[in-house]
């Protein structure tokens, strides 16, 4: 089973380039009893949770709930997004629980870190993630044109405080909301050369290329679900014309529905499709 959970919908930051709009601040979130219901519904089948897609997972629940540690006691694997401003119960995890964390996408939102005076906390948290799960942590920095005057300072901050201490490289990511002009692109390239030794290689930022020109047999609604912080469950959130097919219930209302047939899709262009594909569950239709 694959669950792409739009975690809490919460976030402690207010990045101007955020693609999540609006970020939820004081709305309901999923809690452990919701996740327990979900896992039990599928009879405890091994499940992969990607907590991403809206807000910051670690920001969205009280530490006392121990949501991450309790989930990691089950037969699961987990991928997480974090802005590294909060650790929650991460420090309480045993080695066996840490092993189940397959991927931590750790983004350095430098402008917010500086504005909220979180430099030291961010450094400590990032170093802690790296100490515990170095190979599974993927740091990146979103380079937004409007913050171009900070690019150098941000990369130097990472170099002095993280790269020098841990050797972990960082990925420079273009702000997808605001394309670069020529001057910005040239500066981006210059910095990528100047910081060459600590910059991670390229990754594909355009999800649409993964399965372009293919019709696929997709497990959305059967073995793949998108779950929102208010409990709504959708097989696929990307196809408004098929919204009725992909209305799979609501966790908080303890009501789930699984489709009988796999979905044949001609537009596998979204990040959901890529998550499914990366986990080896998408079949190309011949
Ligand atoms: S940390 Fe991420 S989710 Fe939060 S405001 Fe910034 S870009 Fe948006
Ligand atoms: S858009 Fe992607 S996730 Fe949705 S049905 Fe098509 S292939 Fe599946």
pLDDT of residue 205: 57
Q: Which atom of ligand 1 is nearest to the CA of 54?
A: 3
- Tell me: domain 2-203, CATH 1.10.230.10, correct? no
* Ligand 2 centroid – CA 30 distance (Å): 24
Residue 156 has a CB neighbour count (10 Å cut-off) of 14
Find the 122 Cα to ligand 1 centroid distance in Å: 15
pLDDT in tens, 11-40: 888 888 887 765 666 677 888 999 999 999
Q: What is the pLDDT of residues 209-228, one digit of tens each?
A: 667 678 999 999 999 999 98
User: Please, what's the b/e burial string for 229-259 (b: 16 or more CB within 10 A of its CB; e: otherwise)?
Assistant: bebbbbbbbbbeebeebbebbbbbeeeeeee
Tell me the per-residue pLDDT of 133-151, one tens digit each, with 9 for 90 and over. Answer: 999 999 999 999 999 999 9
Q: Which atom of ligand 2 is nearest to the CA of 276?
A: 3
Q: Where are the domains of the chain?
A: 2-203, 216-284
**pLDDT of res. 78:** 96
Peptide bond into 99 cis (omega under 30): no
pTM of this prediction? 0.90
**C-alpha 268 – ligand 2 centre gap (Å):** 5
d(C-alpha 189, C-alpha 172), whole Å? 10
CA nearest 137: which of 109, 182, 103, 160? 103
282 C-alpha vs ligand 2 centroid, how far in Å? 9
pLDDT tens-digit profile of 180-193?
999 999 999 999 99
- In angstroms, the Cα distances linking 281 to 2, 52, 68, 146, 216 are 9, 19, 25, 39, 10
Please tell me if the CB atom of residue 156 comes closer than 6 angstroms to any atom of ligand 2.
no
- Please state the atom number of ligand 2 nearest to the C-alpha of residue 220: 8
Supply the DSSP symbol for 23: P
Residues of the chain with pLDDT under 50: none
The C-alpha atoms of residue 263 and residue 270 are separated, in whole angstroms, by: 15
β-pairing verdict for 224-227 and 137-143: unpaired
Pick the atom of ligand 1 nearest to 17's CA: 7
Q: Establish whether residue 220 lines the binding site of ligand 2, counting it when its CB lies within 6 angstroms of any ligand atom.
A: yes
């Amino acid at each position: 089973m694959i669950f792409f959970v739009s975690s809490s919908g919460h976030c402690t930051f207010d990045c101007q380039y955020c693609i999540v709009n609006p970020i939820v601040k004081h709305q309901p979130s999923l809690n452990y009893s919701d996740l327990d219901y979900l896992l039990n519904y599928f009879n405890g089948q091994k499940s992969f949770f990607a907590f991403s897609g809206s807000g910051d997972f670690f920001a969205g629940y009280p530490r006392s709930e121990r949501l991450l540690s309790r989930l990691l006691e089950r037969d699961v694997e987990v991928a997480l997004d974090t802005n590294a401003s909060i650790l929650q119960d991460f420090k309480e995890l045993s080695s066996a629980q840490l092993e189940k964390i397959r991927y931590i996408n750790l983004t350095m939102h430098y402008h917010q870190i500086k504005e909220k005076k979180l430099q030291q906390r961010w450094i400590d948290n990032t170093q802690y993630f790296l100490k515990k799960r170095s190979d599974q942590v993927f740091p990146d920095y979103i380079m937004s044109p409007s913050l171009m005057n900070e690019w150098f300072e941000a990369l130097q901050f990472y170099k002095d405080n993280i790269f020098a201490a841990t050797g972990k490289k960082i990925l420079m990511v273009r702000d997808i909301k605001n394309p670069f002009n020529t001057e910005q692109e040239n500066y981006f390239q210059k910095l990528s050369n100047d910081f060459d030794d600590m910059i991670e290689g390229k990754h594909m930022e355009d999800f649409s290329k993964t399965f372009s020109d293919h019709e696929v047999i997709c497990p959305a609604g059967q073995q793949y679900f998108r779950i929102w912080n208010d409990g709504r469950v959708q097989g696929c959130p990307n196809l408004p014309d098929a919204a009725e097919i992909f209305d799979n219930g609501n966790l908080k209302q303890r009501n789930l529905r699984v489709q009988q047939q796999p979905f044949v899709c001609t537009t596998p262009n979204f990040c959901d499709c890529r998550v499914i594909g990366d986990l080896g569950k998408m079949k190309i239709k011949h």
